[in-house]
């Protein structure tokens, strides 16, 4: 009796201890459908997959290995823009360290999904790197489960964690081979491999829940493939994350299949559209905007309290900024490639059979400029950014069909497009303005003596020539002078400028003398003015280099 | 003799050095495979038979099938069977099987599909997404050179049955664009065991000007099968073993234009 009592007290203290530090996030279903709650406050997931890889960097870029000042600068560049848009959650492919999860949450109120990729892009087992993860191997599974436990241990008391997700459309990556698989009939190999995957995902979710029972767990699945297997093998699942690219809509069957098979809430861990048209071969902000508008209208219609499947709790737009490394992965990193990477008929505005119409480097809600601001590539929001900023003002859970129709019907798409395109054009001009011509003018001065007394004569030419008593002849002269001012900004914070003048003759002063500064300086200048024109001279030159550490100018 | 011994020594030395080099590059890591957590239910697979080497386009300038939902015009013609499971388990004719036949005159390609399906369903998806439900696809091109993309002469036709009672209710698309055109004629007839489709497709929409006897062509045939009100669970081709026919024309199989005689089926190939 005493023993049981002590254990109960210890358990209570243990959970109380954790709950004092951790938020309690949960999914809940009532007669109006599924919702996500932080304590008792509903959380509608209006999210963005936060990408930040700078122009010129590859997939191996590690923001978190930089010093804190730079990390803070990156976060403080993006999060205000995200917050202004209405984003309340980010998902990120790298593991955001706990202190930055808390920073983002405390300063901007934005939650983070902790996404353990669980060997999706390879795994190191016993010191050996395997690019294709074999989910059927015990050692691999042990490694990955240990990783999942570590993830939960690390984040269980971190403020700002919304939930844990495992994998990333890992069902598309069942590529390992082995005799145990190859001996199966061809039609069964993928299903058996998927069985290994989902059983591992279940082990990871279960281990995570044991350590942190205060946050939901889920998986990131590729579309709705293998729903039956998920139902069979993943009892710990709280939220089904789905990466889905279906064009304008996901269709009723999408939500219905999840509801009928799993009866769990679904969240789009990725959806969206690229902003490049493979047919017109140019940026197409309108296409991206209309796809996203249609997708989100449907998400609202299928959410809590609308009388349909009522099982979607929100989603993440893929992605925040364009990533310039994606097409070739390791080369052309500073080139914004326009070659399509894959084909999808759902995106019919630029689809043709045989054409890769999905441009991986153009999925950003913001373009990235080559120009930087404090070392970070400038973000150029596209039309879809402005559209979602307005659309997301509508509550996902507490809206009616009429509200949705009214809100999405009144979105000013022409204005969003105009603003997005204007910013894009301006930035393009700026990018091509590394060398600017600040001054370019030409002055022509004509002087002529006029011998009035001779005007009545028949020789008009002689009226414009004057010979004084010393025999010096004054006759009409013409001089031209040009100024060219150039400013260069080869890199951020450095500016240099110079003005060069060129002339044909020295102009006259008001007193009829020539300006001596147009002539070369010679040793005899004091006694006898030079008569040699310089023709060209540097009029002025300056430079400045301004950083937070030093300001140099001259 | 001394030369032979020297040669042998050199050979042994070379083998030894090679073996040492080879083994120094090898790393052996132990694996321990667990039993499959999930085994698909034992399926009643069936023998799909040998795949037809090519499909024929039966050409006749005068004898044309009437597209009216009476499929007698196709009787006796040798078609090809779509039985190559791209995904969705083993081939089982009780789940899904398909026969496709192609004919032509000087203006139209005619396609016939007889699909055996234990759960035939109407398809409500719009053209670009209609592959998610019951539908058939026909790939056709006249350029027989190997190319791994689509040329202007390569086309995909998808026919989507949309009603079990109205045989004129269908969606017809070429290259994923729905086309309503009085020149296109389609008839769809459902039964408890599947559905049949016949269609007349104008040459002008397929980039064809004229077909001649013995002309080689390229093509493939596809069945999209969805059951129990869910999205596509089986994808079956005649030729390609991969889901790439919509992107890669080299995955298609060979076809040939053959003369259709009055007796139908006895053709000059």
CB–CB contact A188 B30 (8 Å): no
Is this model's pTM higher than 0.90 or not?
A: no
For A71, A78, A376, B167, the CA distances from A547, given in Å and listed in that order, are 18, 21, 14, 75
Complex ipTM over 0.85: no
Tell me what pLDDT residue A320 has: 98
State the smallest CA–CA distance between residue B148 and chain A in angstroms.
9
Chain B residue closest to A351 (CA)? B176
Report the pLDDT averaged over residues B91-120.
96
> What pLDDT band is residue B221 in, cutting at 50, 70 and 90?
very high
pLDDT, tens digit, for every residue of A188-241?
A: 788 899 999 999 999 999 999 999 999 999 999 999 999 999 999 999 999 999
CB A306 within 8 A of CB B209: no
What does DSSP assign to residue A213?
A: T
- Quick one: DSSP state of residue A54? P
Angle at alpha carbon of residue B117, lines to B114 and B118, rounded to 5°? 150
Contact criterion met (CB < 8 Å) for A178 and B33: yes
**Is the pLDDT reported for residue B137 higher than 70?**
yes
For Cα atoms B229, A189, B195, give the angle at the middle one, nearest 5 degrees: 35
A267 strand-pairing partners: A241
Which residues neighbour A73 within 8 Å (Cβ) at sequence distance 6 or greater? A374, A375, A376
Residue B52, CA atoms < 13 Å, CB-side half-sphere: 22
Residue range B247-269, pLDDT digits in tens: 899 999 999 999 997 555 445 54
Cα distance between residue A225 and residue A229, in whole Å:
9
B68 in reach of chain A (CB within 8 A): no
CB A200 within 8 A of CB A135: yes
CB-CB: which of A136, A191, A351 is closest to B128?
Answer: A351
End-to-end CA distance of chain A: 86
Better-scored residue on pLDDT, A360 or A13: A360
Which residue is associated with the tokens 């099968």?
A: B225
Cβ-nearest to B38 among A185, A232, A353:
A232
- Measured between CB atoms, which of A253, A348, A354 is closest to B231? A253
A279: its two tokens? 């047919």
Question: B-chain residues within 8 Å CB-CB of A180?
Answer: 33, 36
Q: Could you tell me which residues are beta bridge partners of residue B141? A: B154, B218
Of B38, B229, B246, the CB nearest to A192: B38
Put simply, the answer to whether A253 touches B45 (Cβ < 8 Å) is no
Give CA B174 to chain center in angstroms. Answer: 16
- In the three-class reduction of DSSP (H, G, I as helix; E, B as strand; rest coil), residue A500 is classed as strand
Q: Cβ–Cβ of A136/B156 closer than 8 Å? A: no
Collect all residues from A whose CB is shorter than 8 A from any CB in B: 125-126, 128, 134, 136-139, 141, 178, 180, 185-188, 190-192, 194-196, 198-199, 224, 229, 232-233, 246-247, 251, 253-254, 256-257, 343, 345-346, 348, 351-356
Nearest CA in chain A to B123: A253
User: Distance (Å) from the C-alpha of residue B22 to the closest C-alpha of chain A?
Assistant: 19
CA dist A399 and A387 (Å) reads 18
Residue A137 is classified by DSSP as B
Which of chain B's residues have a Cβ under 8 Å away from the Cβ of A199? 37-38
Q: What is the DSSP letter of A19?
A: H
Convert the pLDDT of each residue in A75-85 to its tens digit. Answer: 999 999 999 99
Q: How confident is the model at residue B266, as a pLDDT? A: 46
| Cβ contacts of B24 within 8 Å, gap of 6 or more | none
Query: Does A232 sit within 8 Å of B129, measured CB to CB?
Result: no
Structure tokens at A230: 């998920």
Residue A260 has pLDDT above 70, yes or no: yes
Q: Is residue A430 within 8 Å of A371, Cβ to Cβ?
A: yes
- The counts of H helices and E strands in chain B are 2, 14
Which residues are registered as beta bridge partners of B218? B141, B254
Decide if B33 and A136 are in contact by the 8 Å CB cutoff: yes
Select from B88, B128, B155 the Cβ nearest to the Cβ of A346: B128
Distance from CA of A184 to the nearest CA of B (A): 10
What per-residue confidence (pLDDT) applies to A461? 65
> What integer pLDDT is reported at residue A183 of this predicted model?
82
Closest alpha carbon to B158 in B224, B71, B229, B70: B224
Give Cα A403 to chain centroid, integer Å.
30
Omega before residue A461 within 30° of 0, cis:
no
Q: B133 to chain A: nearest residue by CA?
A: A253
Chain B CB contacts of A185 under 8 Å are 45, 90
Cα A337–A338–A339 angle (5° rounding)? 100
Interface A–B counts its CB contacts (< 8 A) at: 111
Taking only the tens place, the pLDDT of each residue in B21-78 is 666 666 667 889 999 999 888 777 788 888 999 999 999 999 999 999 999 999 999 9
């Amino acid at each position: 009796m005493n023993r049981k009592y002590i254990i109960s007290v210890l358990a209570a203290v243990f959970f109380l201890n954790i709950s004092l530090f951790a938020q309690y996030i949960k999914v809940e279903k009532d007669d109006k459908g599924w919702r996500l709650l932080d304590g008792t406050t509903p959380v509608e997931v209006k999210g963005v997959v936060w990408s930040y890889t700078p122009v010129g960097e590859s997939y191996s870029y590690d923001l978190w290995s930089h010093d804190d000042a730079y990390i803070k600068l990156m976060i403080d560049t993006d999060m205000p823009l995200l917050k202004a848009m209405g984003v309340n959650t980010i998902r990120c492919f790298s593991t955001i360290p706990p202190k930055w999860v808390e920073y983002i949450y405390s300063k901007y109120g934005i939650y983070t999904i902790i996404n353990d990729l669980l060997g999706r892009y390879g795994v190191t087992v016993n010191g050996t790197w395997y690019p294709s993860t074999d989910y059927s191997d015990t050692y691999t599974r042990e490694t990955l489960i240990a990783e999942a436990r570590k993830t939960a241990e690390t984040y269980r008391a971190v403020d700002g964690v919304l939930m844990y997700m495992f994998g990333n459309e890992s069902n598309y990556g069942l590529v390992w081979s082995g005799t145990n698989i190859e001996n199966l009939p061809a039609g069964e190999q993928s299903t058996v491999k998927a069985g290994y995957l989902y059983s591992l995902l279940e082990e990871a979710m279960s281990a995570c829940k044991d350590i942190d029972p205060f946050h939901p767990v889920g998986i990131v699945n590729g579309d709705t493939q293998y729903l039956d297997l998920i139902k069979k093998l993943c009892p710990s699942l709280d939220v089904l994350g789905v990466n889905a690219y279906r064009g304008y809509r996901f269709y009723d069957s999408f939500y219905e299949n999840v509801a009928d098979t799993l009866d769990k809430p679904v969240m789009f861990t990725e959806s969206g559209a690229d902003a490049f048209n493979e047919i017109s071969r140019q940026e197409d902000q309108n296409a991206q905007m209309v796809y996203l508008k249609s997708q989100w209208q449907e998400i609202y219609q299928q959410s809590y309290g609308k009388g349909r499947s009522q099982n979607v709790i929100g989603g993440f737009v893929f992605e925040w900024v364009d990533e310039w490394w994606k097409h070739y992965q390791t080369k052309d990193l500073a080139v914004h490639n326009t070659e399509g990477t894959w084909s999808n008929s759902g995106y019919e505005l630029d689809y043709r059979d045989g054409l890769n119409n999905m441009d991986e480097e153009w999925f950003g809600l913001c373009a990235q400029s080559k120009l930087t601001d404090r070392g970070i590539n400038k973000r150029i929001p596209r039309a879809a950014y402005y559209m979602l900023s307005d659309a997301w003002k509508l509550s996902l859970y507490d809206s009616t069909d009429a509200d949705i129709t009214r809100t999405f019907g009144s979105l000013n798409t022409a204005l969003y497009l105009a603003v997005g395109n204007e910013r894009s054009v301006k930035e393009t001009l700026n990018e091509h303005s590394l060398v600017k011509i600040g001054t370019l003018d030409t002055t022509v001065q004509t002087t002529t003596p006029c011998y009035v007394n001779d005007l009545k004569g028949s020789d008009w030419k002689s009226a414009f020539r004057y010979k004084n008593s010393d025999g010096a002849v004054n006759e009409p002269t013409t001089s031209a002078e040009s100024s060219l001012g150039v400013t260069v900004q080869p890199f951020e914070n450095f500016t240099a400028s110079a003005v060069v003048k060129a002339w044909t003759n020295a102009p006259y002063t008001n007193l009829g003398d020539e300006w001596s500064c147009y002539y070369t300086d010679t040793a005899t200048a004091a006694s006898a003015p030079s008569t040699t024109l310089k023709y060209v001279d540097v009029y002025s030159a300056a430079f400045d280099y301004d950083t937070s550490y030093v300001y140099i100018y001259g | 003799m001394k030369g032979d011994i020297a040669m042998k020594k050199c050979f042994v030395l070379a083998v030894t050095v090679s073996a040492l080099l080879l083994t120094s590059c090898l790393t052996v890591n132990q694996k321990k495979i667990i039993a499959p957590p999930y085994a698909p239910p034992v399926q009643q697979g069936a023998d799909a038979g040998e795949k037809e080497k090519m499909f024929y386009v039966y050409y006749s300038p005068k004898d044309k099938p009437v597209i009216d939902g009476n499929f007698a015009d196709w009787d006796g013609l040798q078609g090809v069977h779509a039985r190559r499971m791209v995904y969705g388990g083993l081939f089982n004719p009780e789940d899904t099987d398909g026969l496709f036949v192609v004919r032509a005159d000087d203006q139209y390609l005619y396609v016939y599909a007889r699909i055996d399906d234990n759960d035939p369903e109407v398809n409500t998806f719009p053209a670009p997404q209609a592959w998610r439900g019951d539908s058939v696809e026909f790939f056709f091109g006249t350029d027989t050179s190997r190319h791994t993309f689509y040329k202007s002469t390569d086309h995909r036709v998808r026919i989507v049955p949309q009603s079990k009672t109205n045989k004129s209710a269908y969606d017809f698309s070429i290259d994923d664009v729905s086309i309503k055109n009085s020149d296109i004629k389609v008839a769809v007839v459902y039964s408890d065991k599947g559905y049949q489709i016949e269609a007349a497709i104008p040459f002008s929409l397929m980039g064809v000007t004229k077909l001649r006897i013995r002309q080689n062509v390229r093509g493939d045939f596809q069945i999209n099968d969805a059951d129990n009100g869910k999205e596509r669970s089986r994808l079956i081709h005649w030729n390609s073993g991969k889901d790439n026919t919509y992107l890669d024309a080299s995955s298609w199989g060979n076809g040939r234009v053959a003369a259709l005689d009055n007796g139908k089926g006895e053709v000059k190939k």
